[in-house]
C-alpha cells in the first residue's frame, strides 16, 4: 500500500500539464506591483514621522539627564555647574554628554549659578524641535522643567521663565 502511494505521488510530480504553463500572467504581476506601490506610498510618511520622533527622544532624554545632573550637582556644591576657564559645565556634570550630535547641539546656560540654570538642546535639522530644560533652586530644594519648541527648526528655544512656565514660543513637555 505504501509503495503504491509513493508511485502515484512520483507520477503526479512528473506529469506534464498537457502543454499548459504554470505561472503568473503579466497583468497579475502588474496588479501586485501596483498594490505594493500603493501600500508603500501610504506607509512611508508614517515611517518618516516615527524616525523624527525617535531622533527627538534623544534630545528629551539628554535634556532631562542634564536637569537631573544639575540637581545632583547643586546638592553637593550649593550652586549649579557652569563654564569656567578650565572646564565646561557639561564636563563638570560628568554624564558623558558631548556638545554636538548629528541631530542636536547641547549647551548649558548658567546666568545665576545659585538659583537657576538652563540646559538646551538646539536642533541641527529643520524637521526637529528644540528643547530647553530649566532647574530652579529655592530654599535648598530644586525643581526642574522640560520645554519643547512650538515649531520645528534650527533655532534655540527660549529659556523657561520659572518652574511652571516655559518661555515664549514653547510649551511644557508632558
Q: If you average pLDDT over residues 118-142, what whole number do you get?
A: 91
Reported as a single tens digit per residue, the pLDDT across 70-104 is 999 999 999 999 888 888 888 889 888 888 899 99
Render pLDDT for 6-51 as a digit per residue (tens, 0 to 9): 777 777 666 655 556 667 888 989 999 999 999 988 888 888 788 8
For the stretch 141-167, pLDDT in tens is 899 999 999 998 888 888 899 989 998
Give CB contacts under 8 A, 24+ apart, made by 6-9.
Answer: none
Domain extent listing, the chain: 48-172
For residue 57, pLDDT over 80 is answered with: yes
Distances in Å between the Cα of 128 and the Cα atoms of 51, 88, 125, 131 are: 11, 26, 6, 10
Amino acid at each position: 500500500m505504501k509503495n503504491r502511494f509513493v508511485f502515484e505521488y512520483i507520477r503526479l510530480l512528473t506529469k506534464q500539464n498537457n502543454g499548459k504553463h504554470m505561472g503568473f500572467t503579466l497583468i497579475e504581476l502588474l496588479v501586485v506591483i501596483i498594490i505594493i506601490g500603493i501600500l508603500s506610498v501610504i506607509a512611508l510618511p508614517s515611517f518618516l514621522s516615527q524616525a523624527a520622533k525617535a531622533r527627538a527622544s534623544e534630545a528629551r532624554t539628554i535634556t532631562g539627564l542634564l536637569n537631573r545632573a544639575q540637581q545632583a550637582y547643586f546638592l553637593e556644591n550649593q550652586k549649579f555647574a557652569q563654564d569656567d576657564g578650565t572646564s565646561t559645565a557639561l564636563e563638570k556634570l560628568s554624564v558623558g554628554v558631548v556638545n554636538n550630535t548629528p541631530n542636536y547641539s547641547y549647551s548649558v546656560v548658567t546666568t545665576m549659578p545659585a538659583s537657576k540654570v538652563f540646559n538646551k538642546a538646539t536642533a541641527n535639522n529643520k524637521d526637529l524641535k528644540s528643547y530647553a530644560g530649566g532647574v530652579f533652586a529655592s530654599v535648598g530644594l530644586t525643581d526642574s522643567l522640560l520645554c519643547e519648541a512650538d515649531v520645528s527648526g534650527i533655532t534655540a528655544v527660549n529659556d523657561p521663565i520659572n518652574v511652571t512656565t516655559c518661555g515664549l514660543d514653547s510649551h511644557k513637555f508632558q
